Amino acid sequence: MLSPRNLLANIKSGFTLIEVVIYIALFGILFGGAIVASYNVIESSGRNQSRAQLQAEGEFLLAKIGYVLSGVQNISMPSVGITGSILKLSKYDGTTVSVYATGPLLMLQTSANNLPINTSSMGLSPNSLLFTHLASSGNGINPESLKVEFTLTTLTPTGRVLSQDFSSTTYVRK
């Protein structure tokens, strides 16, 4: 049988209701903070991966256009001093090459093929592809060049839109 003294000792050894509520609230705050922090790390990782892929795709497209401009004999579109959305040129080997946008795809057309050169997950923003054909200064200081500008857009894994502008100037050697 328990004496009143032992009963009082057993009662003092437990938690009060307010202590239990405070401990549960503190645990909830810590656990909730850990969940929010984990979500932010995962979302940030996906956004950074999408940004890196967007940068790599843009650099690839600039390099591909630069490659198209190697061995160029004549640029027929756009004309000198004009900005246009279609690049059409002829090369010394006799091939004719066109670069243009069809919706979100950047297309490369030769006499044999008409192929997209970007991935479907990363598309061109509408009306963002511009080619500017710059004339030579005639004194040898500023040679003939072609400036290309475009904006690429993609979605992160959480559905957020990422876009980046790209620009490059290539000097034409004839």
- How is 53-87 classified by DSSP, letter by letter? HHHHHHHHHHHHHHHHTTTEEEEEESPTT-EES-E
pLDDT at residue number 2: 55
- Determine, yes or no, domain membership for 8: no
- Determine, yes or no, domain membership for 55: yes
Question: Coil, strand, or helix at residue 165?
Answer: strand
CB 36 within 8 Å of CB 28: no
- Residue 164 forms beta bridges with which residues? 152
pLDDT at residue number 12: 59
Domain tally for the chain? 1
pLDDT 10s per residue in the chain (174 long)?
Answer: 556 555 555 555 667 888 888 989 998 999 888 888 888 777 777 788 888 888 999 999 999 888 888 888 888 888 888 888 889 988 888 888 888 888 888 888 887 788 888 887 888 888 888 998 888 777 767 788 889 999 998 888 888 888 899 999 888 876
pLDDT at residue number 166: 92
Question: Which among 145, 119, 150, 122 has a CA at the least distance from the CA of 134?
Answer: 145
- Determine, yes or no, domain membership for 7: no
Question: Coil, strand, or helix at residue 35?
Answer: helix
- Determine, yes or no, domain membership for 23: yes
- Determine, yes or no, domain membership for 84: yes
- Determine, yes or no, domain membership for 34: yes
* Enclosing domain of residue 64: 17-171
- Determine, yes or no, domain membership for 122: yes
How far from 169 is each of 62, 65, 69, 161, CA to CA, in Å? 9, 10, 11, 27
- Determine, yes or no, domain membership for 46: yes
